[in-house]
Amino acid sequence: MTSETADSRWAELLEDASTIAEEYRENGWDAIVLEPEAVSPVEREDRTGLDVEVSAEAYELVESLVDSGDVTVTAADVYYRPPEDDDERRIALVVERDEETETGVFVPLCYDLDDSRSVFETALVEEELLLHVTTAATDAETEGWVSFSHDDPSLFLEESDVRDWDR
């Protein structure tokens, strides 16, 4: 996949996230669409999973909702898009939902499978993939992050990816 194709698929995903979020709003939900600046694997003592770097403003909004206890994510949908050709990039839209308060946080993702292999292997064994919303300025020593847990990491992968790793 060329960079142009990847950029086009990413732009389509962001557009779809906005469209789906608008449908949620029309049904009375509060919907927050994040626009990640970067998505990268993280394997540290304090957190493992995918770091989803967003603007400071977006992070503060998500953090205030979750930390205040106003929003408790009780469900999630993962809209995974298969790669084109032999591309190692994976694209997905995750909708973190609080059914009680009717709040949805939309998290578009684009991640490189080769770079993320170890994270996904661990997640498949532990049956939990964590998405950590953070900012570029986040320092694990002094700053925080908001984590969303997913108990079926295979939803973020091709079936063949999972089969290959089971060997």
Q: How confident is the model at residue 1, as a pLDDT?
A: 40
Whether the predicted pLDDT of 125 surpasses 50 = yes
Which pLDDT score, from 0 to 100, does residue 138 have?
A: 56
- pTM score of the predicted model: 0.89
Give pLDDT, residue 166: 55
Lowest mean pLDDT segment, chosen from 15-24, 68-77, 88-97, 136-145:
136-145
How confident is the model at residue 136, as a pLDDT? 77
pLDDT at 164: 64
pLDDT band at 2; cut points 50, 70, 90: very low
Sorted by where each begins, the domain ranges of the chain are: 3-166
| Residue 33, pLDDT above cutoff 50 | yes
Instruction: Report residue 37's pLDDT band, with 50, 70 and 90 as the boundaries.
Output: very high
C-beta contacts of 113-116 below 8 A and 24+ residues apart? 113/88, 113/89, 113/157, 113/161, 114/88, 115/40, 115/41, 116/41, 116/50, 116/90
Instruction: Give me the percent of the chain exceeding a pLDDT of 70.
Output: 90
Instruction: Say how many C-beta atoms besides its own lie within 10 A of residue 57's C-beta.
Output: 8
Q: How many CA atoms are closer than 13 Å to the CA of 4, on its beta-carbon side?
A: 0
Taking the C-alpha atoms of residue 122 and residue 55, their distance in angstroms, rounded to an integer, is 28
Please report the pLDDT score of residue 143 as a whole number.
Answer: 67
pLDDT digits (tens, 9 = 90+) for 77-124: 999 988 877 778 899 999 999 999 999 999 999 999 999 999 999 999
Is residue 37 within 8 A of residue 54, CB to CB? The reply is yes
Handedness of CA 117, 160, 51, 121 (dihedral sign): negative
